[in-house]
């Protein structure tokens, strides 16, 4: 029997002390709490179980105890007893071992499979029938006590201002899992570290990782419709331990090794000048609906952690995943804030992208709030003051708040940019005004509440939808491999195959597709706002038309690095374009355009015209547009003058002759980009720009973007 003392109610979770480990767990409605200590991750029964005395080990709603002689690496779980009354929202089950919501690491040397090994509660109107007496100790992963000490060697989060950022969205496993990656540790944090030279050469500033919090990869019940192979949760949008980096992404299998390896990855990325942004899923958990497994929150205090239906047996489902986290309950708000603090302070994370962020703005009944305390609290949190906070400003319950996301300084994924740019570049008619609004910063969305252009996270593609190559290769989605009869995924991706659905050897089709890829990249990286690039788009990654590859942990989702050679021109185009953007402050301006002259040089900060040089008629159905950007430092809010720029857009299927406006006195126009030209003429290195001499017109090819600079 181990020696214990009452301990303290704070901090929650497991904390290494001088003589042992303190444990603290919130549960308001529990009648008994048991701390179970294990020798092995596969043990069905603990070597010792300690009953917490509610008179000695409880302060308010916090159960706490210190166990002497324990140290980092110790394995533990909780059992929590209390009323099992589903009709009242109470789902305690003392037979279930539960994960600590504040656990910083979980074991991984066993098969996660809650849907089969752990057993579901069979929900019924009869409370007795819905109570599973099956123990889960043999199958549930164990929580690991973590010592947070780590030699950071002076590292701190980089926290680049948004307007100086180029975000690269990728998946820890998918980035290097393909055999072509050439790394020594594919599919791991260490594998990401081995990719640093590539990422640095590409020029991105910020690596955004799909969810790395622990989740059950095997939660899906479907199989591949042809091969019969079991489909898995690849993306990981089903978190169950918000403080714990996924152990299966680590090479180091010693207890807590995933934490050390993750920290080392962050430290080395920072040393290379690349910051780390995490995609976080605080809108629901992996426990699913009323038929789901009891893993953690449900068995600790179901009606505090989850948003319950008026019939309290059931869950409100604004996430589309069976349950909704009760984000504006004070206990859950504290959990989320504590979690964000941990990732910033202990793990040195630079930012967060909040999946289905609108759920964090719903009250405990599910209503959208005008001033949600959760969102305002994150925005005003002093520890998070320099941390990027990016919202997916919608949810599966019908909320859509792009341009209206509450809470102050939040940036947003701008799906209006995605759709308007996709449709304009594809050639849809009558979109010239919408396209111009998007590439100039989306002032219609962000100006009214005082936010800046960089609060718009501009993207053409993301993990959710087509890759860039697929966007120009498929007119419709092809998700048959997901086992849902192609019903899942977006139905409005605005893709176009340019004559052949999918792969082809037709040189004319391939030529148009390559040009369109470059047009999308140019539209993204020359726009005002913060650009986000989907990993692999820079070398033609394909998902074979699957626009919802969440369950494809295979070559459909992995980056095939052999494509780097086949699409070397796209990679070169992207690399030079990123460097061009970050070199020119005119494309990084922190304020919206006004259309006025603030530098007293008789040139407005931005001027729009048609192909004839006349002021733009915004009612025109012709997708022909030219824009002049004044690079004077007073206009771009910089400490030095930049070049002036003239950009011509032609998304029609015909070549058009554009009138070129006069350059500033004593300067001439030089061509930087012409997407109709073959590489390397499509984009030139700095200093190799092509002198147009005194040309007054420029022939802009069909489906082409041309960029000129004056010097």
Do the bridges between strand 645-650 and strand 704-710 make them parallel or antiparallel, or are there none, so unpaired?
A: antiparallel
Beta-bridge partner residues of 207: 168, 276
Q: What is the DSSP string of 59-121?
A: ETTEEEEEEET--TT-EEEEEEE--EEGGGTEE--TTS-B--TT-S-B--SS---IIIII---
Beta-bridge partner residues of 152: none
Distance of CA 401 to the CA centre of its chain: 17
Do the bridges between strand 167-170 and strand 388-391 make them parallel or antiparallel, or are there none, so unpaired?
A: unpaired
Sign of the dihedral defined by the CA atoms of residues 208, 209, 214, 217, in that order: positive
Q: Which two tokens stand for residue 143?
A: 């929580």
Q: 19 CB contacts (<8 Å, ≥6 apart)?
A: 66, 68, 69
Please give the radius of gyration of the chain, using alpha carbons only, rounded to the nearest integer. 27
Q: Determine the Cα–Cα distance for residues 167 and 574; give it in Å rounded to an integer.
A: 13
Closest by CA to 105, choosing from 241, 279, 276, 218, is 241
Q: Determine the Cα–Cα distance for residues 410 and 462; give it in Å rounded to an integer.
A: 19
Burial code (b: 16+ CB inside 10 Å, e: under 16) for 212-221 equals: bbbbbbbbbe
The three-state secondary structure class of 467 is: coil
Q: 198 CB contacts (<8 Å, ≥6 apart)?
A: none
Tell me the backbone φ, ψ of residue 166, rounded to 5 degrees: -125, 115
Residue 134 annotated to the active site:
no
The three-state secondary structure class of 583 is: helix
Beta-bridge partner residues of 561: none
CB atoms within 10 A of CB 138: 13
Contact between residue 671 and residue 604 where contact means Cβ atoms under 8 Å apart? no
Of 194, 392, 464, 674, catalytic: 392
Distance of CA 120 to the CA centre of its chain: 30
Beta-bridge partner residues of 626: 609, 648
The continuous run of DSSP H or E covering 244 comes out as strand 239-245
Q: 692 CB contacts (<8 Å, ≥6 apart)?
A: 660, 668, 669, 670, 671, 698, 708
Q: Which two tokens stand for residue 362?
A: 């719903």
CB atoms within 10 A of CB 684: 18
- Tell me the three-class secondary structure of 274-301, residue by residue: CEEEEEECCCCCCCCCCCCCCCCHHHHH
Q: Determine the Cα–Cα distance for residues 460 and 352; give it in Å rounded to an integer.
A: 20
The three-state secondary structure class of 52 is: strand
Contact between residue 211 and residue 356 where contact means Cβ atoms under 8 Å apart? no
Residue 39 annotated to the active site:
no
Of 355, 415, 470, 635, catalytic: 355
Q: 483 CB contacts (<8 Å, ≥6 apart)?
A: 222, 223, 224, 225, 231, 551
- Catalytic positions: 355, 392
């Amino acid at each position: 029997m181990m020696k214990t003392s009452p301990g303290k109610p704070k901090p929650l979770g497991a904390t290494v002390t001088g003589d042992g480990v303190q444990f603290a767990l919130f549960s308001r409605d529990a009648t008994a709490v048991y701390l179970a200590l294990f020798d092995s991750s596969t043990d069905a029964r603990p070597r010792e179980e300690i009953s917490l005395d509610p008179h000695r080990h409880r302060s308010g709603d916090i159960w706490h105890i210190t166990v002497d002689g324990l140290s980092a690496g110790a394995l533990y779980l909780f059992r929590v007893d209390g009323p099992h009354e589903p009709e009242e929202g109470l789902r305690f089950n003392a037979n279930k071992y539960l994960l600590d919501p504040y656990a910083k690491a979980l074991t991984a040397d066993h098969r996660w499979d809650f849907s089969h090994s752990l057993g579901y509660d069979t929900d019924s109107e009869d409370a007795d029938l819905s109570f599973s007496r099956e123990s889960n100790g043999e199958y549930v992963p164990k929580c690991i006590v973590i010592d947070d000490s780590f030699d950071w060697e002076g590292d701190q989060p980089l926290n680049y201002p948004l307007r100086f950022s180029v975000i690269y969205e990728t998946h820890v496993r998918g980035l290097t899992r393909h055999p072509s990656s050439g790394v020594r540790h594919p599919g791991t944090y260490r594998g990401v570290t081995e990719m640093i030279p590539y990422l640095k050469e590409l020029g991105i500033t910020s690596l955004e990782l799909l969810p790395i919090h622990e989740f059950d990869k095997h939660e899906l019940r479907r199989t591949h419709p042809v091969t019969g192979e079991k489909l898995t949760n690849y993306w990981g949008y089903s978190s169950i331990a918000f403080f714990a980096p996924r152990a299966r992404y680590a090479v180091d299998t010693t207890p807590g090794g995933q934490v050390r390896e993750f920290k080392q990855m962050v430290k080395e990325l920072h040393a290379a000048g690349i910051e780390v942004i995490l995609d976080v899923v605080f809108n629901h958990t992996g426990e699913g609906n009323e038929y789901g497994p009891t893993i953690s929150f449900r068995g600790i205090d179901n009606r505090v952690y989850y948003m319950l239906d008026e019939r309290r047996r059931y869950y409100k489902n604004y996430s589309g995943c069976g349950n909704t986290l009760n984000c504006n309950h004070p206990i859950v708000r504290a959990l989320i804030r504590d979690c964000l603090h941990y990732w910033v302070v202990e793990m040195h994370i630079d930012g967060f992208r909040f999946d289905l962020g609108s759920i964090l703005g719903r009250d405990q009944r599910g209503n959208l709030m005008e001033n949600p305390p959760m969102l305002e609290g994150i925005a005003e949190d002093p520890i998070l003051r320099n941390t990027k906070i990016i919202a997916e400003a919608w949810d599966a319950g019908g909320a859509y708040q792009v341009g209206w996301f509450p809470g102050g300084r939040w940036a947003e994924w701008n799906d209006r940019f995605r759709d308007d740019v996709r449709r304009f570049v594809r050639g849809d008619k009558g979109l010239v005004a919408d396209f111009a609004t998007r590439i100039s910063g989306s002032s219609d969305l962000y100006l009214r509440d005082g936010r800046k252009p960089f609060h718009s996270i501009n993207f053409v593609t993301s993990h959710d939808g087509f890759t860039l190559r697929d966007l120009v290769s498929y007119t419709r989605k092809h998700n048959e491999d997901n086992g849902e009869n192609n019903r899942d995924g977006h139905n409005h991706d605005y893709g176009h195959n340019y004559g052949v659905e999918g792969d082809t050897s037709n040189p004319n089709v391939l030529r148009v597709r390559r040009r369109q890829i470059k047009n999308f990249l140019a539209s993204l990286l020359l726009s005002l706002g913060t650009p986000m690039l989907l990993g692999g788009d820079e070398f033609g990654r394909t998902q074979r038309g699957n626009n919802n590859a969440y369950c494809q942990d295979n070559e459909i989702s992995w980056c095939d690095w052999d494509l780097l050679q086949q699409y070397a021109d796209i990679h070169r185009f992207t690399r030079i374009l990123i460097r061009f953007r970050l070199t020119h402050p005119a494309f990084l301006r922190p304020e919206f355009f006004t259309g006025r002259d603030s530098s007293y040089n008789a040139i407005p900060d931005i001027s729009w015209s048609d192909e004839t040089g006349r002021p733009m008629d915004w009612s025109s159905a012709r997708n022909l547009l030219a824009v002049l950007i004044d690079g004077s430092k007073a206009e771009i809010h910089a400490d030095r003058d930049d070049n002036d720029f003239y950009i011509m857009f032609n998304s029609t299927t015909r070549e058009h002759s554009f009138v070129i406006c006069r350059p500033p006195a004593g300067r001439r126009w030089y061509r930087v980009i012409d997407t109709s030209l073959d590489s390397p003429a499509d984009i030139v290195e700095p200093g190799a720009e092509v002198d147009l001499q005194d040309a007054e017109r420029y022939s802009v090819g069909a489906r082409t973007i041309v960029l000129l600079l004056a010097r």
